[in-house]
Structure 1
Amino acid sequence: MQNPKSQQLSRDYEAKNLLVLEGLEAVRKRPAMYIGSTDTRGLMHCLWEIIDNSVDEALAGFGSEIEVALGADGSVSVHDHARGVPVDKEPRTGLSGVEVVFTKLHAGGKFGNSSYTATGGLHGVGASVVNALSSRLDVEVDRDGATWEMSFRRGVPGVFDGEGPNADFTPQSGLRKGKRVAKGKTGTRVRYWPDRQIFLADAELSIRHLHDRARQTSFLVPGLKIEVTDARHGEAAVETFLHVGGITEFADFLAPDAPLTEIIRLQGTDSFVETVPMLDDKGAMTPTDVERDLDVDIAVRWGTGYDTVLKSFVNIIATPKGGTHVQGFERGLTRALVKSYEGTRGLLKAGEEVVKDDCIEGLTAVVTVRLAEPQFEGQTKEVLGTPAVNRLVARVVESEMGKFLTAPKTRQVARTLQEKVVAAARTRVQARAHRETQRRKNALESSTLPPKLKDCRSTGVDSTELFIVEGDSALGTANVARNSEFQALLPIRGKILNVQKASIGDMLKNAECASIIQVVGAGSGRSFDVDSARYGKVIFMADADSDGAHIRCLLATLFFRYMRPLVEAGRVFSAVPPLHRFELINPKKGYDKYIYTYSDAEYQRKSLELTKRGQKFKEPQRYKGLGEMDADQLADTTMSPKHRMLRRLTVDDAEAAERVFEVLMGNEVAPRKEFIIEGAYALEADRIDA
């Protein structure tokens, strides 16, 4: 039987009920479709769209300076010295070029090959989308001996009577001619205020991301100067980015480790035929074969480390999720290296094979391709989809890399690289064998867990906790203090291996590291599966002294390097044991008999407070280690969920965290020495526990 309500809906569904969104209304209705989201990421995407228009001009050879400014009034401005947006009439619409670019979706100069040969813009929606999502946008164009001006409110052209987005507004189409300028002076200035009706209240522009993008662009367009001014918080802070070394300098900047090879440039040009719909003389869309040129320029280098850093770009637009150009690069690189072992002795043994992951271990690469009208997957341009690029890039990389591996003058370096790749292949096989022996479905099905593990009875991941405890002496007390229903204990002997300096093979051979990975039960490295972790929380419990801090740092390094998804999920913690205990004599009302403090500053404050109130207490006890506490004290202060304090390890910025771990725990001594010396000057002498 049909629902009466659905019958009513069915009768009312007629053509008059259809909603037609005109012009930029669709953008305001569904902004995330065009900019990805309405949080900080979407706000930054709008800025990229305007900056990229200026960069495309520089890429075409017009203008070598771009100024970006974040104003105290919430505005954003981008100024270039390029050709300027066209100000003459567009014949089909009868509107000026400025109004067409900023109000019409899928309109711009990047669809054909007459104005640009290779650009980041593709769909002709960037400037118009930013305009639609701005409470006010002003554009000024220096061209033909005059400054041409136009303003918009949420995509509607008009005139503002005053400064800022809240000034009185009168709708009015048409470009206004302003003051005269030198005849040869050209350029475009765009200033806009993001619409807070669209973007989330806590969305704000990230100056760090802006600096990173400006630096990246200056590497990709050698000679382009980008000046970024941030005046949002009082005095203006100015950063200037200018690099002439191109992607060679970029790869050197990105490299996280010492070099094993010099930077190798893999360059080539090829062409392909693409079938695209084009307007014929009768106005119909006809499939037409078009020949495209593809320029490939890649900088690669291998280092002594194990991490892979790969940045890819299409017409200088970043493609963080890769695409056909990255697939072609990896395929060509793997083919070249595999072929290089043919006819060599003493490198690959019988039965051994090299795969892509072995070839890119320790690799830093900047992959750039340039072509007209690239096919991206979505307006955010995060993935290149042009199919032919895969084949052509693979061909160029295989050829150029093959030359490097066989050239007489680079033979010794090539041999070192081949040995590194073989070592990575052997380590991969060892790691796979190790994972196969350590996996288990649940606690009852496995007999391979370390015998020193004191497991809990519960198998519910959400409620269980694993305490990694420093030393066997603390283990005995912790075993009594814990709630064995949901708290498990794993003791470690002394300081574990510093995995930032060690290879994967060395890490897996280390008994303590292997035990931790085995007990967590989710694998390690690229194969780590956070959903397979046996415990909801992992808690480091070490003494509150310098040795304990070092152990926590070593454990953090292990988890960040090989079990990072667990850290990113917020499931790794550090216990905070107390430093001091006050035992009160005849405690006054409102005071417990025992009071714990967790720092020297808190100890001083509490001591003064008790003395001021006339409360007598015994000589405070200072804990040198967890083993000095009895079970009740350890439970109350460090293990009981009701009273304990935990510090959650988080990764807000993975790249920054990588740099910190490399400085503090890596092979390079000089940066760590510099860090310690700088910290020493900031440390007060009376805080040193000597």
Structure 2
Amino acid sequence: MVKTSEYSARNLSVLEGLEAVRKRPGMYVGSTDSRGLMHCLWEIIDNSVDEALAGYGQSIEITLFADGSVEVEDNGRGIPVDIEPRTGLSGVEVVFTKLHAGGKFSSDSYAAAGGLHGVGAAVVNALSSRLDVQVIRGGKVHQLSFQRGKPGHFSDQGKPRPDAEFTPQETGAEVAVVGKAKRGRTGTKVRYWADTQIFTPEATFLYEELEQRARQTAYLIPGLRIAVRDERRLAGTAGEHGTHEEVFQFDGGIAEFVEHLSQLNPVTDVWRLHGEGNFTERVPVLDSSGQAHMQDVERTCEVDVALRWDVGYDTKIRSFVNIIATPKGGSHNTGFEQALTRVFRKAVESNARRLKAGNTRVEKDDILAGLTAIVTVRLAEPQFEGQTKEVLGTPAARQIVSKVVADRLSEILQSRKRAEKQQVDALLEKVVAEMKSRIMARTAKENQRRKTALETSSLPAKLADCRSNEVENTELFIVEGDSALGTAKLARSSDYQALLPIRGKILNVQKASVGEMLNNAESSALIQVVGGGSGRSFDLSEARYGKVILMTDADVDGAHIRTLLLTLFFRYMRPMVEAGRVYAAVPPLHRVEVVNPGSKPNEVIYTYSEQELHEVLDRLAAEGRKIKEPIQRYKGLGEMDADQLSETTMDPRYRMLRRVNIEETEKAEEIFELLMGRHVAPRRDFIISGAEELDREEIDA
């Protein structure tokens, strides 16, 4: 094939209408996998949410059908069905076929809305093999269908399907009336089939994301009812065995949202910070003839923030603009964090002597530790960066949010009310403790280096360190008790295996404060030996060992100690877990010695559960082989000989390790708080609910 270098106007392509969307779908929805599929769904849902936000709807129902389609129905005002004068098309056809068209370019219909660019519904329509719209207005039910963006009607027999015969509609035709509606009833129902020519075969609607988004929206609009139904019966989902439905409706708003996200031990109550500010913005305004001219417009930015601190160090800040999530932040997030830093620095400086804070200034990270916050702003025509609306760009929002947060938070911190004053004192002490912890961790990391045999070591005396300096090849065994330590010293390879004994059950750091954790001998020794620091200042590159292996007894107490150790790693050294460098040793429960005839040495088989023991015994009996009685049952690691411990638990050639993974961090947070947290009632309910599943015969006493 010969390529020509000619380049003239005839080489230019002009994509009309929705062709550009089908040609470059990633520009509008990000990708053509499940992420893009979910973005299309958000566009349709957000249109219904905007109706509720404007006060015209109280219910949204979302249904995932088994044929791959999805339906969103609301009881808002319904899309206009009359003819739009400039285009000569019905309102429904304009919304679903024209880019940059809709009711959100002025404040006449929506004072504040998430949809701003007028492309959402049209993009979804362009990327669907079929889309059906049903509008209830004026006592009538109107219906219009589209095939890959072209309006018309499908002649269905039975269930609707994308491959049914399609008849295009004449341009400018009215929307067909297909029935009557009850008096006073209005709303819109949209059902669509994503186009398999556009989206990848593995693209699917993710129920967990939909559930999370529905819950989040219900928190942001108090009183709104959102129902989600899944009729797909997909394996591995909640609706695997039948239709699954969940309903979300919350009257507490973002304060209840904060309580949902923050399930640890609270230091403060949920504080609400309200306020608003005005600003002038120069924007293009359309006149009656459709021409745009620049005009100064007075805007109002409403700010509503809910926040609470707990004893941990994790930070959860969720920000929203007109209930649209901005996961990458923006000017409102910047203003919020600036106000926090300014107010807390002033408060700590004013109480420096009582708090023993010295002359060191608190940093933003010290204040954000343990904070859960919902930051919401409402304003007309916010400036977003791109159609995905992940970053707010409106410059004035930063100053307004900063002033509102600073003024309201200062009032709380200076309150003379007894309850609030106690919480403020506890919070300031926590912030100063975080500051001191940060300074201590930085100092420790600056001084931390592996010591050789010729140097004095500042590490705990009970640490039996290894000789190798190659971090990726070294292993730290955390051993339960001194008796196991003695055996482990004989069983280990001192070139690359280090041992750190712990006595009994360490501090439950899920309940303890940062100061209590650092003052605990076992916890502080473990953090010092691992070497990467603690909390948000943990530096994985400074960790002194490639693997940390929890080697506890194979009994209930050993499991409890292992859980306490995992809680410490999860709470204060999480990067080690996320990097897959924390393991649990798997010591055997039984030692079966099989008698061999003649002078041949006996064979030894180790088993790791009662079930495995019985299976081995049954197999040996079937083979006619004898075993030496009694079968040895290990009650603890200290009962093993050094060669047995090495062979079964420490020697990489033979041992078995379980790597600790964090696949779902938020769910792990909930489980750790449930099992190890300060609140007893949820733990008791959990134990009682699972009591019926317990088989007494399986308890190895």
Which residue number in structure 1 is paired with residue 281 of structure 2? 274
Which residue number in structure 2 is paired with residue 122 of structure 1? 116
Tell me: CA distance 1:299–1:467, structure 2 relative to 1, closer, same or farther (3 Å).
same
Letter in 2 for 1:651: I
Tell me the CA shift for residue 199 of structure 1.
4.3
Q: Which moved more, 1:591-600 or 1:213-222?
A: 591-600
Tell me the CA shift for residue 392 of structure 1.
0.7
Q: Contact 1:136 / 1:164 at 8 angstroms: preserved in 2?
A: no
Q: Which of the numbers 95, 102, 108 marks the counterpart of 1:101?
A: 95
Tell me the CA shift for residue 120 of structure 1.
1.2
CA–CA distance in 1 between the matches of 2:320 and 2:370? 20
Tell me: CA distance 1:492–1:587, structure 2 relative to 1, closer, same or farther (3 Å).
farther
Q: Contact 2:478 / 2:551 at 8 angstroms: preserved in 1?
A: yes
Which residue number in structure 1 is paired with residue 672 of structure 2? 661
C-alpha deviations, 1:638-678, integer Å up to 9, x for none?
33444433322222222221111111111112222222233
C-alpha deviations, 1:225-246, integer Å up to 9, x for none?
1122222225322222222232
Superposed counterparts of 1:452-491, under 5 Å: 452-455=463-466, 457=468, 459=470, 461=472, 463-482=473-492, 486-491=496-501
Tell me the CA shift for residue 480 of structure 1.
4.8
Q: Which moved more, 1:46-55 or 1:176-185?
A: 176-185
Tell me the CA shift for residue 85 of structure 1.
1.6
Q: Which of the numbers 422, 428, 435 marks the counterpart of 2:429?
A: 422
Instruction: Please say if 1:370 is aligned against 2:366.
Output: no
C-alpha deviations, 1:319-356, integer Å up to 9, x for none?
23332222222333443444456766853445254444
Which residue number in structure 2 is paired with residue 388 of structure 1? 396
Tell me the CA shift for residue 479 of structure 1.
4.5
Q: Which of the numbers 332, 346, 349 marks the counterpart of 1:325?
A: 332
Tell me the SS of whatever aligns to 1:193.
Answer: strand
Superposed counterparts of 1:575-614, under 5 Å: 575-586=585-596, 593-614=603-624
Q: Contact 2:153 / 2:167 at 8 angstroms: preserved in 1?
A: yes
CA–CA distance in 2 between the matches of 1:352 and 1:39? 49
Which residue number in structure 1 is paired with residue 217 of structure 2? 217
Tell me: CA distance 1:415–1:629, structure 2 relative to 1, closer, same or farther (3 Å).
closer
Which residue number in structure 1 is paired with residue 634 of structure 2? 623
Stretches of structure 1 that go unaligned for 5 or more consecutive residues are none
Tell me: CA distance 1:100–1:683, structure 2 relative to 1, closer, same or farther (3 Å).
same
Q: What is the TM-score with the length of structure 1 in the denominator?
A: 0.89
CA–CA distance in 2 between the matches of 1:36 and 1:407? 47
Superposed counterparts of 1:49-448, under 5 Å: 49-162=43-156, 163=159, 165-170=161-166, 172-173=168-169, 176-182=175-181, 184-233=184-233, 234-278=241-285, 286-303=293-310, 306-340=313-347, 347-349=354-356, 350-408=358-416, 410=417, 412-439=419-446, 443=450, 447-448=457-458
Letter in 1 for 2:584: S
Tell me: CA distance 1:311–1:466, structure 2 relative to 1, closer, same or farther (3 Å).
same
Tell me the CA shift for residue 404 of structure 1.
3.0
Tell me the CA shift for residue 549 of structure 1.
0.8
Q: Contact 1:354 / 1:421 at 8 angstroms: preserved in 2?
A: no
Q: What is the TM-score with the length of structure 2 in the denominator?
A: 0.87
C-alpha deviations, 1:285-329, integer Å up to 9, x for none?
654332211111222344455544433221112223332222222
Which residue number in structure 1 is paired with residue 663 of structure 2? 652
CA–CA distance in 2 between the matches of 1:13 and 1:538? 64
Q: Contact 1:147 / 1:180 at 8 angstroms: preserved in 2?
A: yes
Tell me: CA distance 1:40–1:464, structure 2 relative to 1, closer, same or farther (3 Å).
farther
Q: Contact 1:269 / 1:295 at 8 angstroms: preserved in 2?
A: yes
Q: Contact 1:537 / 1:572 at 8 angstroms: preserved in 2?
A: yes
Instruction: Please say if 1:540 is aligned against 2:550.
Output: yes
Which residue number in structure 1 is paired with residue 502 of structure 2? 492
CA–CA distance in 2 between the matches of 1:258 and 1:460? 36
CA–CA distance in 2 between the matches of 1:637 and 1:346? 57
Percent of pairs identical after alignment?
Answer: 57
Tell me the SS of whatever aligns to 1:584.
Answer: strand
CA–CA distance in 1 between the matches of 2:442 and 2:509? 18
Tell me: CA distance 1:507–1:293, structure 2 relative to 1, closer, same or farther (3 Å).
same
Tell me the SS of whatever aligns to 2:509.
Answer: coil
Tell me: CA distance 1:285–1:546, structure 2 relative to 1, closer, same or farther (3 Å).
same
Which residue number in structure 2 is paired with residue 680 of structure 1? 691
Tell me: CA distance 1:540–1:345, structure 2 relative to 1, closer, same or farther (3 Å).
closer
Which residue number in structure 2 is paired with residue 508 of structure 1? 518
Tell me the CA shift for residue 201 of structure 1.
4.7
Letter in 2 for 1:645: M
Tell me the CA shift for residue 595 of structure 1.
2.3
Q: Which moved more, 1:615-624 or 1:437-446?
A: 437-446
Question: Over aligned residue pairs, what C-alpha RMSD do you find?
Answer: 3.3
Tell me: CA distance 1:468–1:112, structure 2 relative to 1, closer, same or farther (3 Å).
same
Letter in 2 for 1:208: E
Letter in 1 for 2:217: T
CA–CA distance in 1 between the matches of 2:495 and 2:198? 49
Tell me the SS of whatever aligns to 2:280.
Answer: strand
Q: Which moved more, 1:171-180 or 1:116-125?
A: 171-180
Tell me the CA shift for residue 614 of structure 1.
2.1
Instruction: Please say if 1:574 is aligned against 2:584.
Output: yes
C-alpha deviations, 1:183-212, integer Å up to 9, x for none?
643211111233445445554434333333
Which residue number in structure 2 is paired with residue 34 of structure 1? 28
Q: Contact 1:263 / 1:301 at 8 angstroms: preserved in 2?
A: yes
Tell me: CA distance 1:72–1:556, structure 2 relative to 1, closer, same or farther (3 Å).
same
Instruction: Please say if 1:48 is aligned against 2:22.
Output: no
Tell me: CA distance 1:493–1:272, structure 2 relative to 1, closer, same or farther (3 Å).
same
Tell me: CA distance 1:407–1:524, structure 2 relative to 1, closer, same or farther (3 Å).
closer
Tell me the CA shift for residue 14 of structure 1.
5.9
CA–CA distance in 2 between the matches of 1:527 and 1:92? 60
Q: Contact 1:146 / 1:177 at 8 angstroms: preserved in 2?
A: no
CA–CA distance in 2 between the matches of 1:412 and 1:498? 28
Q: Which of the numbers 543, 559, 569 marks the counterpart of 1:559?
A: 569
Tell me the CA shift for residue 54 of structure 1.
0.4
Q: Contact 1:312 / 1:318 at 8 angstroms: preserved in 2?
A: yes
Letter in 2 for 1:192: Y
Letter in 2 for 1:57: E
CA–CA distance in 2 between the matches of 1:613 and 1:367? 70
Tell me the CA shift for residue 121 of structure 1.
1.2
CA–CA distance in 2 between the matches of 1:484 and 1:14? 75
Letter in 1 for 2:678: N
Tell me the CA shift for residue 371 of structure 1.
0.3
Tell me the CA shift for residue 568 of structure 1.
2.4
Stretches of structure 2 that go unaligned for 5 or more consecutive residues are 234-240
Tell me the SS of whatever aligns to 2:549.
Answer: strand
Q: Which moved more, 1:639-648 or 1:568-577?
A: 639-648
Q: Contact 1:347 / 1:419 at 8 angstroms: preserved in 2?
A: no
